Amino acid sequence: MPVPNARPVAFVTPENPANSPAARMRSRVYSQQFRDAKPINFGKRSPRKLAVHGVDVSRWQGEIDWAKLRSRGANFAYIKATDGGDHLDPMFKKNWRRAQAAGLKRGAYHFFYWCRTAGEQADWFIRNVPREADALPPVIDVEYNGESSCKRRLSPARVREKMQVFMDKLERHYGQRPIIYTAPDFYRDNLDGAFPNHPFWLRSVAAHPSKVYPGRKWIFWQYSGSGLSHGVDGRIDLNVFHGSEEDWHAWVAARST
C-alpha cells in the first residue's frame, strides 16, 4: 500500500463521471472543527494544515452520535474491534454499522497481546470483523500496556516475527496490507527501520512525526488524545491523513477495488 504522493493523483474522466466507481466512492470531506482539552502548538507543520481528519474510538466513548461527529470533521474512523484472542469490544458491531450509515470511511483495529500466539489473534480478528469492500485496511496496534496482565517483553526480533505472522494472515483474508499503529517508545525499541513496505499510523501528540520518528513514512498521524467534539461525551483521539483531499479520494478508491 503506497503512501500518497505529495501531489494529487489525476483521474481519467469517464464518459459518465457520476456513475463511475471512483465517483461513487467519493464522499464529502468535512473540515475539522474539533476542540482540544490540551492543545499543542505544532508550529508550521500543524495537523490543521492537512485536509482529512478522523477519529479512533472504542467502548470508552460510549454511545456516539455518528452523524454529528462526522459533521464536525470526522471523515474516517478506526474502531476498536478485538484484543488478544478472546476479547471483542462490546461497542464494535454497533459502531461499525452506525459509522458506515453516517457516511464515514471506517476500519477496524486489533490490540495485540504479546502473551497470545499471533495466529490465534488473527483468527479472532477475522472471526469478528467483516470483510467488506468499502472498509479501510485493518490495523494492528502494537504497544506495551502497563495495565495489562501480560507483562512479557519480547526481543525486537521476536516482536517483529509475531507481527509478521498476524499481518500476513490478515492480508490474505482481507486483501489489504494491514496498517501498523504504534507509539514512540515501542517504535524506538522494536520497529525503527522495520517493515519498510507497510503503512504506519503514528502516535505523536507533542511534536510532528518527522521529529519523533525520523525517516519513517506514515499514512495516519494521531495528534491528540484529548479531542473534544459534538457527538461524543468526553475525550476522543484525533487523527489526520497524510495527503491532500484529492490524495485521500485516490487512496480510498484504491483500497476499494
Q: Is 147 noted as a catalytic residue in this protein? A: no
Q: Which residues contact 80 (CB under 8 A, 6 or more apart)?
A: 56, 57, 58, 59, 89, 91, 92, 108, 109, 111
CA distance 119 to 3: 27
- What distances in angstroms separate CA 157 from CA 111, 181, 191, 192, one per listed residue? 19, 18, 9, 12
Out of 56, 83, 89, 141, pick the active-site residue: 56
Supply φ then ψ for residue 180, to 5 degrees.
-100, 120
Q: Is 143 noted as a catalytic residue in this protein? A: yes
CA distance 40 to 212: 15
Residue with cell 472471526: 127
Assess contact for 184 and 212: CB atoms under 8 A: yes
Cell numbers at residue 41, please?
502548538
CA distance 133 to 100: 12
Please tell me the number of Cα atoms within 13 Å of 90 on its side-chain side.
5
Out of 36, 143, 171, 245, pick the active-site residue: 143
CA distance 153 to 233: 35
Provide the annotated active-site residues: 56, 143
